[in-house]
Amino acid sequence: MEKVDKRDLKKFILEASRATYASGNQSIQEKQSDRSTTIQFEKGEYKYHDNFFGGEPYGGREVIFYHGKPIWMMVYYGLVFPGVDNKQVYPFLMKALSNATADTPYRGPLLFEEGGWKYKNTLLGDVERFSGTERISIDGIGVYEASFLGGLVDQ
């Protein structure tokens, strides 16, 4: 198998993220019999597959396939804090995720602020192997937190 071009992989992860959950487009989400939701995106030889269990808290995993073979994955788990209206938090989260960068395409940018809202991504590692925590606060008060980790697989 040919070696994965990490730059192309990061570019695809960013494109897939922006085109799927972060886009807010509910029509691309497919409910599964196990009560999870699946979102898929394809471009060229790459395919993105996101499967998650929604609600509070939520969790899931993303897998990138290249020529039909899994090459990268990320698992994630998070929640909106008790007593906080998630109908306000998730639209801001989607906006933050849609502002991810090509350097760090997993989840959102390192920092995104709008009004009194703040999204902060504490990230360690690179596309080969990484972990992180994302947090959202409103006027300095924490309302959301999620952890994620992943990297290349089956190399």
pLDDT tens track for 79-111: 999 999 999 999 999 999 999 998 889 899 999
Q: How far apart (Å, rounded) are the C-alpha atoms in residues 128 and 144? A: 27
In the chain, % of residues over pLDDT 90: 82
**pLDDT value of position 114:** 96
**pLDDT value of position 26:** 67
The stretch 61-81 carries a mean pLDDT of: 96
pLDDT band at 2 (very low <50, low <70, confident <90, very high): low
| Residues sharing a CB contact under 8 Å with residue 122, sequence separation 6 or more, in sequence order | 132, 133, 134, 135
The stretch 38-47 carries a mean pLDDT of: 94
- Better pLDDT: 55 or 50: 50
Average pLDDT of the residues of the chain: 93
Q: Where are the domains of the chain?
A: 6-152
In the chain, % of residues over pLDDT 70: 97
**pLDDT value of position 117:** 98
What do you get for the CA distance between the two ends of the chain, in Å? 9
Q: How far apart (Å, rounded) are the C-alpha atoms in residues 57 and 72? A: 24
Amino acid letter, residue 147? S
Looking at the predicted structure, is the pLDDT value of residue 1 above 60?
no
**pLDDT value of position 27:** 67
pLDDT tens track for 108-140: 999 999 999 999 999 999 999 999 999 999 999
- Better pLDDT: 104 or 143: 143
